Structure 1
Amino acid sequence: MGKDTGHGGPDATDATDARDARDAADTAGPAGTPGERPGAGPRPATTPKAVGIVWGLLILNTLGSAGAKTIIPLPRSLIQMVTMGALVAAFALALALNLRLRIRPSAYLFLLTLLLVPSVISSMQLESGFGALFRCTRLGLFVGTLWLLSRWWDGSPTFVRHHIRMYFAVLGSVAAGAVISPGAALPEVYGGRLVGALWPLTPPQIGQYAAVIIGLTTLLLLGRRTDRTSAAVVIVPSLVLLALTHTRTATLGLLIGLALAIGSLILTSAAARRFFTWAVLVCVVAAVAFSSALQAWFLRGQSQENFSNLTGRAKVWDALLAAPRSTSEYLFGVGLGDKSFGGLPIDNSWLAVYHEQGLTGTALVAAAIIVLGGVALLRPPSLPRACAIFLVSYCAIASYTEAGLGDASPYLLHLAVAASLLATPAPAPPRPVPWAPRRRTPRRTPGSEVT
């Protein structure tokens, strides 16, 4: 982000992106990625603008097709055609940008690739129908596109900026729907919580997008990679939308993730120390002065019993764990499905992965989280490290009440951004040596020596 608006949103400036690419040389190694594969060559001097388009298409693919009723009814088949078409277009464009298939080895992407194995094995049994094989194909294209984009993972905040721009555009559509039709955007069926009136987005989705870009923009502001005006343009409306969604998971993920990320900068950043001090004071004052209002917002009018069993989630979880399973289902699951059990949403990433991809998939997803988190903790304090800590901690917190870590989803994109921040910059191309004429030594003829 910066003072000059660019091609992607309020925080897009080519000059800033170029500075980020130069500053990336100060960051440390990758999330299990020692550098480019042999023969990949030096990294490109700049990231093509079309990479941002590919990232936007990936985000469009993960928006989903089920949600609230929109102002203009959109058939689910049409939405699925748009989202799947966006993924195919993203893969094709990424391949066109990287025809030589230059990639950056990444432990995160390697584990996602391994995740395809239990997914295919379980889906081939067709317990979840032919849709499971379709979802496996989608996951394969999704991971393949990330591999193609890994060429431009250099430890700079470039993909953070793409992330903020694209999700800010999504939130802009939510705000536009609320202005056009407040009744459709705040329906009674969702308890008056904000939903997508132009595109079918649920309150947890909107809360997730708002929380992620609020956290990332705050960290860019503390790292002096954006100015206060540009940051306020993103943070203030996103906070309003987050409050209207009444999403507890996103709010807690934002607060805890920012606390951990800013805590990693306290020893090296005076701005982080000041922000942390003021944030603690504001939270204490708000907790004392508005305790009843905050409690009412947090409970959302639910009874203590309904709140204690997590709005009915605990009953689904108990039934899923108690269901009999064969050895194959224990190891590889029942195949990729719609993250539901008995017709009810699972709403837990770990149980959803266990149900669909078995213990093998659960171990691979846990390994991906542990690798990213471990590498981030081992890095020296820096802005990319702080952003990675925020994203990994947010996904870990949200995984308790949201599904998505085992399939193509925004959570995998959040973690991909974290992996790009933890990547080691590839060696810069060698500078050409300036040409200089050679000095010619005069020939000596026999007898010309001076005695």
Structure 2
Amino acid sequence: MGGDLTHGGTPGRPGTASTQPGADPRPAGTPRIVGIVWGLLVLNTLGSAGAKTIVPLPRSLIQMVTMGALVTAFALALAVNLRLRIRASAYVFLLTLLLVTSVISSAHLESGFGALFRCFRLTLFVATLWLLSRWWDGSLTFARHHIRMYFAVLGSVAAGLVVSPGAALPDLYGGRLVGALWPLTPPQIGQYAAVIIGLTVLLVLGRRTDRASAVVVIVPSLVLLALTHTRTATLGLLLGLVLAIGSLLLTSAAARRFFTWTVLCATVAAVGFASVLQAWFLRGQSKANFSSLTGRAKVWDALLAAPRTTGEKLFGVGLGDKSFGGLPIDNSWLAVYNEQGLIGVTLVAAIIIVLGGVALLRPPSLPRACAIFLISYCAIASYTEAGLGDASPYLLHLALAASLLAAPAEATPLATPDVPRRHVPRWAQRPEVR
């Protein structure tokens, strides 16, 4: 996807690594191993529950792979950052506070020993982000890693569709696309497709990738997104792009042209294909089922009506599988309230508000637009998807947004040490008088 950006240099002097007084040396570049670590974090957050695969994979094996990926990611991040140099990050700091809240709520074992295991997983996840924060400099490096890794995941979905269309479009999910090689649900696939489509579109508008590479990513991802029939991902993609491109309208002619053509095409599609779009959007559901958000509202009402002690209201019942009464909660805010209480909800809200506030205060730029897209997408998806309170793709998307909003470390040339006066020849100490 285009050439990588140059990292670790002063403006106009790529590749230089200098320091400023009182600061750690700025890395001369992002090591390749950092991209591997990011890919392992993506692998860890794919999850272990989903559709039936062509070759049955035991859940224990999948959990071993995903957890092994996280342990390996932490070990590699520690190996590449042995001096434990980190950058101040409000996002990771708030995640650390959320981790502390999770440990407190899980210590009572109301959710069983699995809660402590999930706390351990979240600990490794947050620790790895702290180690990677050293290379968060507002560049697009991690965005490229993000796109490449999720595109590889979508490649496995496409391969499963080609090998076994029946397994990839099962009747159990109403003919929606699932992962036939790795157990991925339609909402997961829709989320990954929407995120990399949005990021790639923004890279094209910012002229940070060529159009041929963008087409290779965007077109197949759009096809997979359409096959998932995922409304949340589609709305998140559209609204997120509107906000992100809107932040570039005053500074980018390409963004203005793209916005204009998109509005025209959307108007034509809405008029000419209204019935088709409505059928796709409803997915054959009745209006009553649609109004109750496919039954989610019943679970939400039951969760809110359940009696809770003061401690459970404040700290929750501990990290669980994001379900209530055996049914998925499918709402990040209610899932956090159930597992981490009102304190957890406050911390998650603070994460969204802080990232959004920093994005609004930054001057218009491509990294800022990408961050706005990611923050908007996660905020929209949080209404019908869980994941903001535990190690998940959503927290990884927000970590990418935090890296894009990080201020570049100011690099100043090393000061030339003063030479003692006694070592300077007398003729050089004062102008020669003739």
1:19 shift after superposition: 6.4
Q: Distance in 1 between matches of 2:412 and 2:20?
A: 15
Q: What is the aligned partner in structure 2 of residue 32 from structure 1?
A: none
The aligned residue for residue 217 of structure 2 is 234
Match of 1:396 among 355, 379, 393: 379
Q: Give 1:274's aligned amino acid.
A: R
Determine the structure 2 residue equivalent to 1:257. 240
Deviation at 1:381?
0.6
CA drift at 1:427:
2.6
Structure 1 pair 67/22, CA: closer, same or farther in 2 (3 Å)? farther
Deviations 1:259-297 (A, max 9, x none): 000000001100000000000000000000100000000
Alignment equivalent of 2:231, drawn from 235, 243, 248? 248
Cα distance in 2 between the residues matched to 1:241 and 1:23: 40
| Mapped contact 1:21–1:156 kept (Cα < 8 A) | no
Q: Which residue of 2 aligns with 1:379?
A: 362
1:219 matched residue in structure 2: 202
Q: Report the CA distance shift for 1:201/1:403 in structure 2 as closer, same or farther (over 3 A).
A: same
* Distance in 2 separating the partners of 1:249 and 1:75: 29
Give the number of aligned pairs.
Answer: 422
Amino acid of the residue matched to residue 152 of structure 2?
A
Structure 2 distance, partners of 1:124, 1:338, is 16
Mapped to 1, the partners of 2:314 and 2:7 lie a distance apart of 47
Are 1:283 and 2:271 counterparts? no
CA distance 1:303–1:73, shift in 2 (3 Å): same
Pair 1:66–1:306, CA change in 2 (3 A):
same
Q: Judge conservation of contact 1:37–1:105 (CA < 8 Å) in 2.
A: no
Q: Which runs of 5+ in 1 are unaligned?
A: 3-12, 26-35, 444-448
Checking the alignment, whether the CA contact within 8 Å between 1:336 and 1:356 is kept in structure 2 is yes
Segments of structure 2 that go 5 or more residues without pairing to the other structure are 14-18
Distance 1:168 1:275 in 2: 23
Identity of paired residues, percent? 82
Give 1:344's aligned residue: 327
Deviation at 1:42, TM superposition (A): 2.4
How far is the alpha carbon of 1:430 from its aligned partner? 2.4
Please name the residue that 2:16 is paired with.
none
* TM-score normalised according to structure 2 size: 0.93
> Which of 148, 160, 164 is the aligned partner of 1:165?
148
Q: CA deviation at 1:429?
A: 5.8
State TM-score, norm by structure 1.
0.90
Of the structure 1 ranges 115-124 and 285-294, higher mean CA displacement relative to structure 2 is found in 115-124
SS at match of 1:17: coil
Which of the residues 292, 298, 302 maps onto 1:315?
298
Aligned match of 1:18: 6
Amino acid at match of 2:270: A
**Conserved in 2, the CA contact under 8 Å of 1:257 and 1:391?**
yes
1:179-190 map, 5 Å: 179-190=162-173
Establish whether residue 78 from structure 1 lines up as the match of residue 61 from structure 2.
yes
Residues 1:52 and 2:60 are matched in the alignment: no
1:65 to 35, 45, 48: 48
Report if the CA contact (8 A) 1:43-1:426 is conserved: yes
Rounded to whole Å, the distance in 2 between the matches of 1:24 and 1:370 is 34
Report if the CA contact (8 A) 2:168-2:179 is conserved. Answer: yes
Q: Please report how far the alpha carbon of residue 424 of structure 1 lies from its aligned counterpart in structure 2 after TM superposition.
A: 1.0
Aligned mates of 1:429, 1:165 — CA distance in 2 = 33
CA 1:305/1:20 → structure 2, altered by over 3 Å: closer, same or farther? farther
Q: CA RMSD in A?
A: 2.3
Which one scores higher on RCO, CA 8 angstroms, separation ≥ 6?
1
Is 1:356 the equivalent of 2:342? no
Give secondary structure in 1 for the equivalent of 2:207: coil
**TM superposition shift of 1:45:** 1.4
Contact 1:223 1:383 in 2 (8 A): yes
**Does the 8 A contact of 1:23 with 1:156 survive in 2?**
no
Matched residue of 2:5: which SS?
helix
- Cα deviation, residue 217, structure 1: 0.4
2: CA distance, partners of 1:118 / 1:360? 7
In the alignment, the residues of structure 1 paired with residue 252 and residue 242 of structure 2 have an alpha-carbon distance, to the nearest angstrom, of 14
Specify the code of the residue in structure 2 equivalent to 1:350. Answer: W
With over 3 angstroms needed to count, the CA separation of the structure-2 counterparts of 1:22 and 1:180, relative to structure 1, is farther
Letter in 2 for 1:17: L
